[in-house]
A and B are shown apart, each in its own frame.
Chain A
Amino acid sequence: DGGITQSPKYLFRKEGQNVTLSCEQNLNHDAMYWYRQDPGQGLRLIYYSQIVNDFQKGDIAEGYSVSREKKESFPLTVTSAQKNPTAFYLCASSIAAGRDTQYFGPGTRLTVL
């Protein structure tokens, strides 16, 4: 089955720790995205990548880092510099940059203890 997978589904982090969220797609999509969703707010773009080995900051990149070493993988690291990391994190992909539709993975819910 083609699709986007994210792991883990739930993640608990202690303050001061870095954690990495996984996002994998087997849709052969070039572009991948990371969003954050907080209650009562829309999705906000953290980072996006239009091609392997290249990525750009979104609207709220501070405290986050990404890599895009393979076409199918776009992991997100939430660093200790992110002051309020508790949120629902969503990964998406699209065929290419342009007007193409973005499809979402199931999400990772991160809670800071």
Chain B
Amino acid sequence: QKEVEQNSGPLSVPEGAIASLNCTYSDRGSQSFFWYRQYSGKSPELIMFIYSNGDKEDGRFTAQLNKASQYVSLLIRDSQPSDSATYLCAVGLTGGGNKLTFGTGTQLKVEL
């Protein structure tokens, strides 16, 4: 059973729209949640992290965490073609010593 699940996509949105990426996790004790962006052939780069329930905004990006429902989401406002990439959700598990478990990623395509 996967511990962190993401829809593989592709998720296609028009330029300027809001892209919504979702991630669910199985361990209720999970404490830290990260979103990474990965362009094809490149390494992951951090977009945002969130530790507490609610929303966290950084520029065009908003991370949302709901521990009761065990999901974390990433909203991208005013989507640009340069946002086209695979978005990886990562979860830090209880007592994990900072070990992260990654989802398989959602491919986002922003179309002109």
Contact = CB atoms under 8 A, between A and B. Distances in A.
A58 to B, nearest CB: 7
B72 to A, nearest CB: 14
Interface stretch (A39-47, A64-72, A78-86): A39-47
Contacts of B51: 99
Nearest to A41: B104
Interface in A69-113: 90, 94, 96-107
Contacts, number: 57
Interface residues of A, number: 26
Interface stretch (B54-62, B63-71, B94-102): B94-102
B3 to A, nearest CB: 10
B98 A106 contact: no
A22 B4 CA distance: 29
- Among A96, A101, A105, chain B packs the most CB atoms within 10 A around the CB of A101
Contact of B88 (A42, A97, A98, A99): A42
A56 B96 CA distance: 12
A102 B100 contact: yes
Contact of A99 (B31, B43, B45): B31
Interface of B: 4, 8, 31-32, 34, 36, 42-46, 49, 51, 88, 90, 92, 97-105
Give the 8 A-B residue pairs with the shortest CB-CB distance, closest first.
Answer: A42-B102, A43-B102, A104-B43, A99-B32, A97-B98, A42-B104, A107-B43, A97-B97
